[in-house]
Structure 1
């Protein structure tokens, strides 16, 4: 029995649009299994934040945007995972972490990457310059063309996001 064309009904939207969402993702990713998984993620996201649409065109546009977002998230996760595996490959066998530890570190790295990408670009750059290169706020300010006081504000924003992420990770582990 077909589901009624209710633009707020995720089941109907899934039935009508899942095929083209999966095909679009497959074209972008070149991998049908990843495309199928991400197509399901699009509709899971829609289930977690239900939305009513004015028209089928509006629903399709929204699903297109969500498909692009899951694709970008997928590529971002892959990039972080490749970097982590590269670091691991340079370590001696006896120093390798357990699979569980590797998965936990990868998840944390992906969340840190996502947090950095949510920050305004100059805030993220200031944070990385301080944390990875150990530059002073004055040196960061000179590099970014802002005052040391502005760098202090940037760092406060970044550290606040780090605290939120830490609380989120602590909650997930407990």
Structure 2
């Protein structure tokens, strides 16, 4: 009998051990903030864990991690931009009309969930959907704003509704 050890398939643990430091450094350079980089690095590995991608099938693990990390970084910047716009709108409100801190938090969470829900839709489709749902604009008004036909707006809305129904949250 041979005492030779059979090679094992790489695991998430191996991927994490071998590449976490590199990914965190890459993210830190872009963010200028080590704690946000550490959070996004952890989120990247959580996404890998939740994905159907087999670790053993990764030919270029750093390229894969970089792709996932870039998507999370983009989402991070979108959330930050959304939060800053919301806070600027709050600052412009009279103090007696401003929502409570709890209500602010709920509103911000809702805005972020909506942003994630609509992620992946073309900008014009997203705008048409939001104008219709949040501002109550008619398809004709939206068509005028976007300088397209009402028929195009109907297609946009159908695309947005389909996306909302099929998104995997």
Correspondence 1:12-161 to 2 at 5 A: 12-53=14-55, 57-130=59-132, 136-141=138-143, 144=146, 146-161=148-163
1:6 is aligned to: 9
SS of corresponding position for 2:119: helix
Structure with higher helix content? 1
Q: CA deviation at 1:138?
A: 3.7
8 Å CA contact 1:126–1:155 kept in 2: the answer is: yes
SS of corresponding position for 1:118: coil
Q: CA deviation at 1:125?
A: 3.3
User: Gapped runs of 5+ residues in structure 1?
Assistant: 169-174
The alpha-carbon distance between structure 1 residues 154 and 50, as it changes in their structure 2 partners (threshold 3 A), is closer
8 Å CA contact 1:6–1:12 kept in 2: the answer is: no
What is the TM-score with the length of structure 2 in the denominator?
Answer: 0.77
Q: CA deviation at 1:14?
A: 0.6
User: Gapped runs of 5+ residues in structure 2?
Assistant: 1-6
Q: CA deviation at 1:83?
A: 0.8
Deviations 1:34-68 (A, max 9, x none): 11111111111112225224566422211010110
Q: CA deviation at 1:147?
A: 3.3
What is the TM-score with the length of structure 1 in the denominator?
Answer: 0.75
Q: How many residues align?
A: 162
The alpha-carbon distance between structure 1 residues 99 and 153, as it changes in their structure 2 partners (threshold 3 A), is same
Output the CA distance in 2 between the equivalents of 1:164 and 1:126. 19
Q: Mean Cα displacement is larger for which, 47-56 or 130-139?
A: 130-139
Cα RMSD for the two superposed structures: 2.9
